């Protein structure tokens, strides 16, 4: 494979001359090769980082060519004479966050379906309806320890956080110094478009990731080397600061719910109140008979350990380790009972979620 010098895409074309003229005159390509000179069967053109050979007598779909344009927000479509679909789209189209469609979503560990995603990581969906495409939450695991086949990349997101549930992972972030190790209970806020790379992990690594919007781009950065030369912990990416919350250095405080105390991760401060994340655990053995409702975008709970009985209006739902629930705005809810070893990850938008008591 080390002898490969050049790559090109070959597209079927009945009239290479007319089609190459379209690419040259309309789209700014240039002609690189003609074979043969008289009534050519193949014409090779190049431009905008791609090389294309238009070949007469070749069977197959004429395909789609996508061209990224500066300042173009909407997609514009042209058809080449050979039938190739030309899509002109924005180079940096605005991030589109779908309208919220609040709904109750319960994901039970016993029903888990795992799929293989980027860099060989396994993903489990924790919000099956995606709240109209506004949010995605995933349980992600890597079975084998050692180096991770990752690369420097970034995500076009409004919000993204990762919580380490099991094991450890070594990650490096743009302008945040040398690689850091996330251990069980640690959490990071990944601000929009911060470059990062997963380097290695323990066997059985498991994390929980929550992002907005649900469908977002992951883009490689082949030019930037990590770690970067300078450490800038106060740098803002998309208006947010990077956070590495270390569980071993954090304290629990009371007041989260009646009978529960909370370990705050600092995400609310780093996002100027856009989002928050904390871990809840019992401060007493019994819950109180209290119901409330929220008016925010998201209230997501993931059972890290232990067991929880969650009251939802007039029914009680038992939850165990790795079960998750997304509670929509307006639905009366409250923890009804829990085990002494309960540990509950809560992610909310906004960071300070307002609760109103249910009138009975």
- Listed in order, the ranges of the chain carrying CATH 2.60.120.10 are 113-242, 249-357
Instruction: With beta carbons less than 8 A apart as the criterion, state whether 24 and 30 touch.
Output: yes
Compute the distance between CA of residue 80 and CA of residue 23 in angstroms, rounded to an integer.
8
**Residue 23 belongs to what H/E stretch?**
helix 16-27
Residue 127 exposed, middle or buried by CB count within 10 Å (0-12, 13-18, 19+): buried
Residue with tokens 């409702």: 293
As separate numbers, helices (DSSP H) first and strands (DSSP E) second, the chain gives 2, 34
* One CATH from 3.10.110.10, 2.60.40.10, 3.10.180.10, 3.30.470.20 for 9-89: 3.10.180.10
Kindly report which listed range (6-15, 177-186, 280-289, 319-328) carries the lowest average pLDDT score.
280-289
Mean pLDDT, the chain, whole residue set: 94
113-242 CATH fold: Jelly Rolls (2.60.120)
- Listed in order, the ranges of the chain carrying CATH 3.10.180.10 are 9-89
Q: Name the DSSP class of 174.
A: T
Q: pTM of the predicted model, to two decimals?
A: 0.88
249-357 CATH fold: Jelly Rolls (2.60.120)
**pLDDT tens profile 207-256:** 999 999 999 999 999 999 999 999 999 999 999 999 999 999 999 998 76
**pLDDT tens profile 285-335:** 676 667 789 999 999 999 999 999 999 988 999 999 999 999 999 999 999
For residue 119, the model assigns a pLDDT of 72
**pLDDT tens profile 122-142:** 999 999 999 999 999 999 999
Kindly list the strands in the beta sheet with 187-189, ordered across the sheet, starting from the edge strand earlier in the chain: 114-116, 122-125, 136-142, 205-212, 159-166, 187-189, 243-245
CA distances 6 to 45, 65, 214, Å, are 13, 19, 37
Instruction: With beta carbons less than 8 A apart as the criterion, state whether 19 and 45 touch.
Output: no
For residue 118, the model assigns a pLDDT of 77
CA distances 106 to 50, 109, 325, 344, Å, are 46, 10, 4, 15
């Amino acid at each position: 494979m080390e002898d490969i010098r050049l790559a090109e895409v070959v597209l079927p074309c009945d009239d290479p001359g007319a089609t190459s003229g379209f690419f040259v005159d309309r789209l700014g390509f240039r002609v690189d090769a003609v074979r043969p000179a008289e009534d050519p069967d193949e014409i090779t053109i190049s431009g905008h980082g791609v090389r294309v050979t238009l070949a007469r007598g070749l069977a197959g779909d004429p395909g789609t060519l996508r061209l990224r344009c500066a300042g173009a927000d909407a997609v514009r479509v042209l058809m080449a004479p050979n039938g190739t679909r030309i899509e002109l789209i924005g180079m940096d189209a605005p991030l589109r966050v779908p309208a919220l469609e609040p709904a109750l979503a319960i994901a039970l560990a016993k029903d888990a379906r795992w799929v293989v995603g980027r860099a060989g990581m396994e993903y489990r969906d924790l919000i099956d309806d995606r709240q109209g495409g506004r949010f995605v939450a995933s349980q992600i695991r890597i079975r084998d320890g050692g180096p991770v086949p990752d690369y420097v990349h970034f995500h076009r997101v409004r919000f993204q956080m990762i919580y380490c549930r099991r094991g450890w992972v070594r990650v490096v972030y743009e302008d945040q110094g040398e690689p850091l190790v996330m251990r069980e209970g640690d959490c990071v806020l990944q601000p929009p478009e911060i470059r990062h790379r997963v380097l290695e992990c323990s066997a059985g690594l498991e994390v929980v990731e929550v992002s907005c919007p649900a469908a977002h781009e992951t883009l490689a950065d082949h030019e930037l080397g990590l770690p970067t030369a300078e450490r800038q912990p106060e740098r803002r990416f998309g208006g947010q600061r990077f956070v590495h919350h270390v569980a071993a250095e954090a304290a629990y405080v009371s007041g989260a719910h009646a009978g529960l105390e909370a370990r705050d991760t600092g995400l609310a401060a780093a996002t100027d109140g856009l989002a928050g994340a904390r871990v809840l655990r019992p401060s007493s053995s019994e819950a109180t008979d209290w119901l409330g409702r929220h008016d925010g975008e998201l209230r997501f709970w993931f059972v890290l350990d232990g067991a929880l009985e969650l009251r939802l209006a007039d029914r009680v739902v038992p939850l165990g380790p790795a079960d998750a629930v997304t509670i929509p705005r307006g639905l009366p809810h409250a923890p009804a009972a829990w085990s002494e070893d309960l540990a509950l990850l809560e992610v909310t938008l906004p960071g300070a979620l307002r609760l109103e008591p249910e009138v009975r």
